[in-house]
Chain A
Amino acid sequence: MNADDAQVIGLTLGAAGLSTLLIFPFGVALAWLLARKVWLGKSLVETLVALPLVMPPVATGLILLNLLGRRGPVGEFVKNVFGTEIVFTWKAVVAAMAVMSFPFLVRTVRLAFEEINPRLEQAARTLGAGPVRVLWTITLPLALRGMIAGAVWSFARALGEFGATILVAGNIPGRTTTLSVAIYNDIQLGQDEHAYQLLCISAILAFAAIVFSNQFSRWGGQR
């Protein structure tokens, strides 16, 4: 493994971690709203959240490119307010990973909330706890395993993200090249041996994430 590989792995891990951190509070909040509340537009939001799961990742990347590009509504806003560009930078890598892994987080955490017996929350209310205390002391602790599992799955999904990333962040060595993009690059250039080395690293990272998730689930089950 050379310095370039270390940089690629660092960028991939860093971007996947940051994207997971960024989407986590929004994903948990949305999952709770979908699991526990009835509201206008719920079906539409459910569909929008699931779209990246079923749409070709390249198509999602194209939508992101139009939104985040210099003339896109989000890109223009960010440029005017913060004086920075998103597309073809590490920020675009994070954005692509966040959008593609968001549905994994929401679906897993939503299931965790739905599995909680509503009677527990009701009993807590009758014991004098207001809605915020119930959320903090009953709902969130009971959903903790699902929340961690959702975060790990979305992190693992972000590690393997390719289609949307290559469209919105490109393949700029040292700046936006992630593990998946580097493997694709090596195959295109006929550097199969290096591609397989990166493949092994990619598999080890995914394996570690899944082992962590499973171990955590077992620990949570024994509590």
Chain B
Amino acid sequence: MKLLLKKLQLHLGTFHLELDLEVSGQVIGIFGNSGAGKTSLLEVVAGLRKPTSGLIQIDDQVFMDTGTRLFLAPERRSVGYVPQDLALFPHLSVRKNLDYGRKPESSASCSINPNHVVEVLEIESLLGRSIADLSGGQRQRVAFARALLSSPRLLLMDEPLSSLDHDLKWKIIPYLQRIRDEFKIPMLYVSHAPDEVAALCDQVIVLRNGECLRTSRPTEIFETTTSMVLKPGIF
């Protein structure tokens, strides 16, 4: 996947996101401290926020270009979005959550086998349950499955593991790695945790105060001591 953000500007009160970058990778991490603009960038790519100006392009698909007044609505972008709070629909069962964005298997835009998703994420036993009955880790897997079943061209993950404790987080990361390796869907992965980014991403965009500090491979940004930490001088 090639992500192109050209002269992108978003103003939210006193916060300004200003990006001009091009980065390629299968899983691109968006890394930075709180308030760096990670979630805002993801929302802009999803079409949930409208920037003041700029161009957003994923491979050959232009999502937005103020020069030609193009703005694709979120439902026309084919992105699978997993927000921080997962946003599972509480009034629908797990099965109906999964069906919500699912493309009919006969349609040309359906590239995902639902049974395969259910198998990979091990959620078959959860299908009849209500969302309120799921544990934290189960909710995570259902949210990933729902996003996958919409047959997206791009997955957008906004700190999906931030609410989990350390042990549970490391039980879920292998599922994300399986999503990455089995379905080959490009992913933008927001996190402020170096170990998550290093485990999943092949490229990283480092943000600070709404600006891109650098884009690199994770090994160029993080170093392993007892745990994964930032190399000196990154911020």
A residues adjacent to B (C-beta < 8 A): 117, 119-120, 122-130, 137-138, 141-142, 223
B146 contact set on A, CB distance < 8 A: 127
Query: Taking the nearest CB of chain A, how far is it from the CB of B149, in angstroms?
Result: 9
Number of A-B contacts (CB under 8 A): 62
* Pair B101/A129 contact, Cβ less than 8 Å: yes
Cα A138 to Cα B85 with chains together (Å)? 16
Which residues between 117 and 150 of chain B lie within 8 Å of chain A, taking CB atoms? 146-147, 150
A138 contact set on B, CB distance < 8 A: 89
Quick one: CB contact mask for B69-90 with A, threshold 8 Å, 1 for yes?
0000111011111010101011
* Pair B85/A117 contact, Cβ less than 8 Å: yes
* Pair B75/A125 contact, Cβ less than 8 Å: yes
Range, interface on chain B: 20 to 34
Quick one: CB contact mask for B169-199 with A, threshold 8 Å, 1 for yes?
0000000000000000000000000000000
Cα A59 to Cα B50 with chains together (Å)? 46
* Pair B79/A124 contact, Cβ less than 8 Å: no
Known A-B contacts A119-B83, A122-B81, A122-B83; the reply to A129 vs B100 at CB < 8 A is: yes
Query: Taking the nearest CB of chain A, how far is it from the CB of B75, in angstroms?
Result: 5
CB of B46 closer than 8 Å to a CB of A = yes
* Pair B83/A223 contact, Cβ less than 8 Å: no
Q: Which of B47, B85, B87, B91 has the most CB of A within 10 A?
A: B87
Cα A137 to Cα B46 with chains together (Å)? 20
Which of the residues A123, A142, A223 comes within 8 Å of B81, measured between beta carbons? A123
B156 contact set on A, CB distance < 8 A: 126
Query: Taking the nearest CB of chain A, how far is it from the CB of B147, in angstroms?
Result: 8
* Pair B75/A122 contact, Cβ less than 8 Å: no
Cα A129 to Cα B147 with chains together (Å)? 13
Known A-B contacts A117-B87, A119-B85, A142-B90; the reply to A125 vs B73 at CB < 8 A is: yes
Known A-B contacts A117-B85, A119-B85; the reply to A126 vs B80 at CB < 8 A is: yes
Query: Taking the nearest CB of chain A, how far is it from the CB of B12, in angstroms?
Result: 15
Cα A138 to Cα B97 with chains together (Å)? 11
Which of the residues A117, A120, A125 comes within 8 Å of B48, measured between beta carbons? A125
Known A-B contacts A141-B91, A142-B91; the reply to A128 vs B83 at CB < 8 A is: no
Cα A205 to Cα B101 with chains together (Å)? 45
* 3 closest cross-chain pairs (CB), A and B: A127-B101, A123-B87, A126-B81
